[in-house]
Structures are given as C-alpha cells and as structure tokens.
Structure 1
Amino acid sequence: MLSALITSSSLAIASLLIGFALFVAWWQFGRRIHALIWAFSFMAATIGHGARIIGGPLSGHNDLLAMLACHASVASFAFLAWGFGLRAGRDNRLTFAFWGVATLALLLCYFMIGGAEGRMLNRIITAGADAAMVAIIVATIKAASRRALMLRFLFVGYGAYICSVAATAWLARDGGMIGGPVFFAVLSIGTPTGMIATGLLTLLIVAADLAEELRRQAIADPLTGLLNRRGLEQQVAPIFASSRAVRRPLVVVLADIDHFKSINDQLGHAAGDAVIRAFAAHLHSIGRKGDLVARIGGEEFALVLPGREVHEAVALVESLREGVPAALRGIASADRITASFGIALVSDGETFEVTLGRADTALYRSKKGGRNAVTLEPPPELARAV
C-alpha cells in the first residue's frame, strides 16, 4: 500500500512538472498550440495519479475514484494524440470519437455495473482507449527520417505494453487466472517508465521544433517570408555544385524597385513595406520549383534560376518587369511603380559571389540607362572575345 502511494505521488509530481514545462514552452516560445495540448495531457495524468493517492484514505469511494482515474488516463492519452495531430496538421475527429466512446463506456460501467467487476471493465476500457490513442499517434508520425522511425517504434512498444495491461486486467478479474497484486505489479512496472519517457519525448520534440523555427528565422526575411542573404548563400551552394557537375545552365538575377526612397519619404515606411511585400509576391509567383527568390537588402532582391538558358531567363525577367506596375498598382496609393533588373549567366568555375557581382553590374547599367529595364551582363569569356 505504501509503495503504491509513493509511486503515485512521484508520478503525480513528475506529471505536474512536465506539464508545467510544456506550458512554459507554449507561453514563451511562439504559442505553439500542440505544446499547450500536451501540457493538458500531463495535467490530466496528474489528476489521475492524484485520484489514486486519495483512494488510499478514502477507501469507501474506491469505485468513484477508480472511475475518475480511468477518465484522467483516457483524457491524458487523448490530449497527447490531439497534440500530435495538431503538430502534423491532421484531422483529429478520430481521436475525439475514441475519447467520447471511452468516456461513455466508463460512465456506464460506473453507474450500471460498479463493484469489482465494474473496476475491472473500467481498466480494460481505459487500456483499450489508451492503446487506440497510441495507434493514432503512430499513424500520425511521418516515417521520413531515422528519428521518426525510432519514435514510431517506441510508441508501438508502449502500445503493446498498454495492451498487456488490458489482458492482465481481464486475467485478474474475480475468479480469473491471476490475482490483483499481479495486475498492479504489471501496472507499476510500465506506467512510470512510459509516462516519463513520453514526457521527455514531447519536451524534446518541442525543443526540436523551436530549434527549427530559430533556424528558419535566421535564414528568412521577416517582412516578405523569402530567403534572406544568409539563407540564399546556404541554399545556392548545392545548386551551383549540381549545375557545375552536370553542366546545366544557371542564371542569377538582381532586381531593384525604382525610386523606392521617394516612396518611403512621401508615403511613409508602412507604405514602403507594403510595396516590398507586393513586389516579393510578384517575383515569387512567376518562379518554378527549384528557383530561389531572396530579399538581400532594402528594396533589392535576387533570383537564382537553375536549368534555364539565357534566352529563357531574359524572357522570364522581361515578363516580370512588365508585370510590376500591375502587380503593385494601388499599393499604399503610390503612383506607377517600376523595377530594374540585371542578369548574369554563371560561367565555368565561377562562384556565386562573382556571378552576383556581375548581375549587380548589369543592374547598375539598367539604373543608369533610365530604369525600368532589363540588362544582360555577358559572360567573362564572351566579353574578352569582344
């Protein structure tokens, strides 16, 4: 009795701490809703273990407290599955359906059966519902990496253990093959390990999500959502290496909004931001899979176009230039807005920085020539031949 009380107390405290840690993660780091739902999962587990603790001194209410503990267990696993579904962008109706059916079944057992048989059925229903929630979690986790496969494997093992709890509860019924102490021994062996392991896994997943978000923020422009200069440099390296290996054409384009300073000066920075967002959307809308679009500073943008011949790139950029006034018409009450472009074809052995510099030279010539223009910078070998 004392051992069970100590175990339940320890689990209640551990569940409370894990739930509090997940709540803090939700509150402090971007309000990720699945972290909050997981916090509810461990708060529900705290209530369940608390009911078991109270069941000791209040032996006259064993049926009620056992039923509440079972409800808390089902709720804990339902919240856990719900959080995984939210994180993966999946529909959670199946989770809610299992939760509702299990809740009704537990209430029916309490009010219509009761006693030792009702407690036994409650344990089986709870274990079955918990195993169903674990199965939903396993189905939700995408096996796209070794880490995801390991996570699925761990949850499959946990689900198998929960099923063994249901089988043991049936065998420990009145007149069954085993006694109640064996059931509680099986319950005590896996429950602490499973609960603590699940808590650590959810905390690690939240930490990994936060790390990924920080990495994304480090390479993304917050105003437009495009890559920033760092992100462009990171993602362009493998494209350059691949194009060089298979001798595939590669074009770098620089774009700059004409007279942008006057927009900011006359209409304010809010209007300038609106123009930049609209221009970014215009550049991004015309690209294809594999193209890179980045804002590398102020009103200047870069495009990397792999697999395009020069004439294709020039035609594409011309269509971009022609579409700028319409795409930005009426933005922040600005007058007709145009943009200038510079194009450079990557030469053999040329680095991204060198090609970008030549595209910048072409852009300067577009600006100097009157703006609202597209200029192609010839490759160095062609320039030397001329």
Structure 2
Amino acid sequence: METAFTELVGTRYPIVQTGMGWVAGPRLVSAAAGAGALGILASATMTTEQLRSAVREVKSRTDAPFGVNLRADAGDAAERAQLIIDEGVRVASFALAPSRELIARLKDAGVVVIPSIGARRHAEKVAAWGADAVIVQGGEGGGHTGDVATTVLLPQVVDAVDIPVVAAGGFCDGRGLVAALAYGAAGIAMGTRFLLTSDSTVPESVKAEYLRATVKDVMVTTAVDGLPHRMLRSELVESLERAGRARALLRAVRHASGFRRISGLTWSRMVREGLAMKHGKDLSWSQVLLAANTPMLLKASMVEGRTDLGVMASGQVAGVIEDLPSCAELVSRVMAEAQQALEALHAFRTLPPAG
C-alpha cells in the first residue's frame, strides 16, 4: 500500500511502531522494520553510546528504513542529532517540537523529520518550520496524552497542514488503518499493539497484565508526574492517587533516590530535569521529583517486571487486544484486514439524490 508517508520514508506499509521508552529497543524495531513498518528506537532512556550501539544493532538485523525518537528538550539533543546523521538513520521523530534550527540541520543531512503533536496549532507550527510529516496522537494514546479524541483531532490537523499526517491513539488493526485513511491520514502509528507482540522484550508477566485489562482498566492520571499520563490501573497508581502531599513527597524522594543511584545524576540535576518537564504546569515538589524519574517507574515494569514498583503506560486499545503475534504476523494481519475493509466499502453504491 503506497501513501504519501510510505513514499516519504521508504517503508512498504503506512504503519509506524512508536518509540516507547524501555520497549522500543533494537529487537522490536528491527522486527517492525523487517515486517514493512517504520520501527522507531526510543533513545530517551539510552546514553549516547548506548544509542549508537542500538542503531548499529538494528542496521545489522535489517536493511529496512527505521527511525530514532529524540527528546527535543534534552541537553544533548544536538549531539544525538549528529549521531543520527553520522549513522545514516532515515527518520528522526520527536515527542516535543524540535527547534527550527534542529529541523533544518537534520533535513540538510537528508534525515526525515517527524514530530509528534497533540494539537492543531502545534502541527501548523512544526509544518511551518519545515517538518516533513507529523504524528497526531489523540487522547486514546498511551503515555503522556491530551484529552481530544483522535477522531476529532485528526481531521483538524489533516485540514490544517499540507504534509503527510500519521494518526496515533486507538489503532490496533486494519479497520483502524482504513478509517484513518478515510479521514485523510497517510498512515497509522501504534505503540501498545507493538508492545504486545512476541518480538517485544517486555516481560511475559507484564504482557499478561495488559492482556487481562479491559478498556476500563486503562486510566489517565496526573498523580505520577503532574501531567496527564494514560496507563494501566494498578495498586501503585491508585495509591499515588490516594496519597496526601506528605506521603506523595516521601514516596517521590524514595523513588528519586533509587533513580539517582542508578543514573548517576545529582539531586540538583534531577530537580532541574523535573522542572523542565513541567511545561507551565503547577506541580508539587513530589510531582517534580516523580517527573524527573518517571523513566525509572516505567523501567521497573517494562524491564524488571516489577509492576508493584512501576507503572505501565498504555493506550486504551489494550482493552481490546487479546494475543501476542510477531511483528511480521501483526503487520500482515493489519494489511489483510485493511484490504477486506476496503473491499467491503467498494460493495456500497451511492444512490442518486431523491426527486
């Protein structure tokens, strides 16, 4: 299936595997890319040398194009961008809008720049700055998310920009792909659906938690880091929701202390990073500390399997996913379902106007 997006990035199919921290590593990314989708490495939880190693591992596993997700607000964003350029990575994606200068630098080197956005005005801004495409995440998406549904946000953005738009938030099958195309998108991006594959390195016990979840078990909370964060309901999340300010601060300090030992960051650096993640929000000190070490709360679950100590970011689609196919099986299934949906639509005939 060829769309403006597949022509832009060189993939066989208009499907993106999103850059999920601790999840989108070389194994998952190379499997998604090899299946014909655009796999995206999550670099925020890697050092620059770990990122270089991960990029080279993906390249050793597949010749298909892939991307790297960067934090535009990271202190070493420019260094990581140069790494992408030096290693010949096809796509740079961003969770926050990169600067006009960073976009220009990447584009001048032949890298395709695709920011993720959650509002029409953000899409207009990055398009004006030269972004090649945008991923539009509606409120159904996992992780930090907005409150506007994909079905409302997507057509707004499609109408506002003249670059390829990829729809994210609520997609897991071929029917969703066809629906997104009908809205004017050039493809779909899926996170939770790729997390729940046999190629994902997430512990099997954690995958089982996702498979057990219903749509009502996926919630949005601000208790973790002060920002709206969609994740699976768990005892830890509910305890954070119930905690008073003193208990929340104590818990945050304990989590932050563990993160500091592992990461090597100083307390002042951690607080600065937490404050940088506020984005104008009125966060308490416990939320500032949790914002700085949210990656470690994710790591506890996604890497170590400790769902009692960590959180599980999740899109609402977790409530309708029931199996763990390989990436190749998943992409093949999505495309077959899309073909069936298109054929079913062709069966409809437009009736002449009455009268």
- TM-score w.r.t. the length of structure 1 is 0.24
Higher alpha-carbon Rg: 1
Question: Could you say which structure has the higher helix fraction?
Answer: 1
Pick 1 or 2: higher relative contact order, CA cutoff 8 A, min separation 6.
2
Question: Could you say which structure has the higher strand fraction?
Answer: 2
